[in-house]
Amino acid sequence: MDSTSKTHFGFETVDIKEKQHKVNEVFTKVADKYDIMNDVMSFGIHHYWKWLTIYTSNIRKGSKVLDLACGSGDLSLLLCKNLYPDIHLTLADINAEMLAQGKMRLLNQGYLENIEFVQANAEQLAFPEQYFDVSFIAFGLRNVPNQQQALNELFRVTRPGGKICILEFSKPKVAGLQKFYDWYSFHVIPKMGQWIANDSQSYQYLVESIRMHPDQDTLKNMILEAGFDRCDVTNLTGGIVALHVAYRY
């Protein structure tokens, strides 16, 4: 994309270079309340979604694993609880405050060996080609300005025989669920953000960003366009969330 390209920041149209700055502002503001808000907004179900993502990945001992857009490190913590110290884990996030939250979380639990923390842009990963066996990005892809470029980068750093697991909000597939989901998203979540994090505006963006994110089939096609040979899609909680697992043969 050239410098004049536009993208969305929630429902707002912005220059593609401006979106990353705006997203950084959001996550800098919510970093210290991020985990409690996730628990409250999802009624704790996000822990199950993340556990299922790790279970589905079927990681082998000795694997090099990337947690991209790692946020506060809750997915990485689950990885460590189940696989430490038998994997080499890299946590990466573009936002310094969120990465610091993730680093503190793992170090406080005593996870020190075989773990690296990297401030990284998903669109321009500094890792070598074909470096990782498994990469995760959980609830982070929709915040990337150029999602196709991020998927291209994930393909580049995935070794043959490796895979990526993308866990992200998607489009409900159960009849009648969309209406309730819209009401909850736009009328309840911003109020929760105000009550708990003293910040309704950031959570207004988050629910808008979900609506602007590609649906299950569109994202699958984008993943295949990046070069992956196969992509399996699993709808969770009626399609509110979808897990895309893509393989490089």
Mean per-residue pLDDT of the chain: 92
More confident residue, 177 or 2: 177
User: Does a structural domain hold residue 236?
Assistant: yes
What is the residue range of 240's domain?
A: 7-247
DSSP 40: H
d(CA 138, CA 57): 13
Condensed to tens digits (0 to 9), the pLDDT of residues 215-233 reads: 999 999 999 999 999 999 9
Is residue 1 situated within a structural domain?
Answer: no
pLDDT at 52: 96
Q: Is residue 2 part of a domain?
A: no
DSSP string, 165-216: EEEEE----STTHHHHHHHIIIIIHHHHHHHHHS-HHHHHHHHHHHHHS--H
pLDDT of 169 reads 94
Q: Look at strands 132-138 and 158-169 and give their pairing.
A: parallel
Task: Confirm whether 121 is domain-assigned.
Answer: yes
CA distance 145 to 9: 9
Residue 86: its pLDDT value, please? 95
**Cis previous bond, 172, omega within 30:** no
pLDDT-based confidence at residue 78 (cuts at 50, 70, 90): very high
Does residue 69 form part of some domain? yes
Number of folded domains that form the chain: 1
